[in-house]
Structure 1
């Protein structure tokens, strides 16, 4: 095995990341942004206009990252975008031989991190940029989030109201909610990508794809019925507001549990990935790609 070189690993990641960004499937991201705008941003801005009050520019992103519908759609779209990750064919095998297994493996991890950061950054910018001219930047919740129901009690059940539940604005600051939401969703996407990587190296890529789909579906189902089983899935652990009650400080589930859960799962997958690349067989590479 060739000596590890961070420079080679980074070069491998950067080259493949650029190819991924230029893939025709990126049009799906544009469709996702349009859906997010209609589904989450518009209801909030409509409430703001009705009250004559500005939103915090981070509130639409927080709403998106904590929506049970969007936290189903965002991973599904990401899974679609990285469906061929890691891309392994005959040319890739020659490349692995040239730069070394360790360099290629770390390069794939870096590429996954790049994909996650850029994917969530596009969603973040897609929700924040439209608010720059009509929102405010401050570590405090807007009156739209905290006082809309008081002004319009007959609209308590409106979808725009449900986007920012009391579990968020009564328990966390805006900055804390935004950072936690971003990092937890990023960890969720990391787990999805690592499952694909590990199962590909064990020549079971299709099975890995099925497991990812099943994990997303089960996570959604368990979260929808509010069973304690939802905490066995990454989805519930990545939704910030599910951890808190509306009024009491004692959480339903400590945030530390979710952080440890997600990090341990990522670490376990990385270990299995390291084992798999160490035993990687250059023969029958078509089995890896299927």
Structure 2
């Protein structure tokens, strides 16, 4: 039966001479669906631009409607910045636990710590094997000083919402995690024989790199984003206590991942973006593998 062909109720007709609703056959109705002309009762009718439609026709109409997305393929949301705020909340909760409640135990267990096999007592931490690789992720949510978490979260709150709005929640979260993991694995590759590090700076630097890529993609002014990056790089290399390896690793993986997410052609956007994320994870796995060959037991 064609969609526009009238369809009659197969149930018994109710009393009163009016036809019965095609779904509730005992309910008499004088209203028909403007699309398929089946009788519909008040429980079934859905307001349309002209008259009413039945639930099936409404569903068929929605099935042919293209879902609205952001410029880079993410789902549109009414409340922007939700993932950013959740990430800030997680970081703050972990900071309170590590700095005041479970100090120093949580920092010892979650930090980006590693000692190679040639170090007395090694291998330790990440170099000790897969049971310790969780540190590559947990360290990116770990802070001990108020100024450290304050600085990182201010930058996250500044850069996160525009990127999340452009990419969508899922892609933005993937970018953040890939950048953080990139900073951790690069730091392990370079200094896994002896290192102790923590903080979300690698992920934050990844957002800086992604912001520059987005400005390029949108043909917007690059000056402020580049100046902010240069300032942070100067600070990074001017203080010996800052782990520059995590900053550079996060910056590189964040920028490269953002490039793949934002420059993916519309016709094959999902495929290219998926391959971009898979490629970034493969690079990080390779850095971890080389680091284990150099420092592991």
Higher relative contact order (CA 8 A, sep 6+): 1
Q: TM-score, normalised by structure 1?
A: 0.29
Q: TM-score, normalised by structure 2?
A: 0.28
Higher helix share: 1
**Structure number with larger C-alpha Rg:** 2
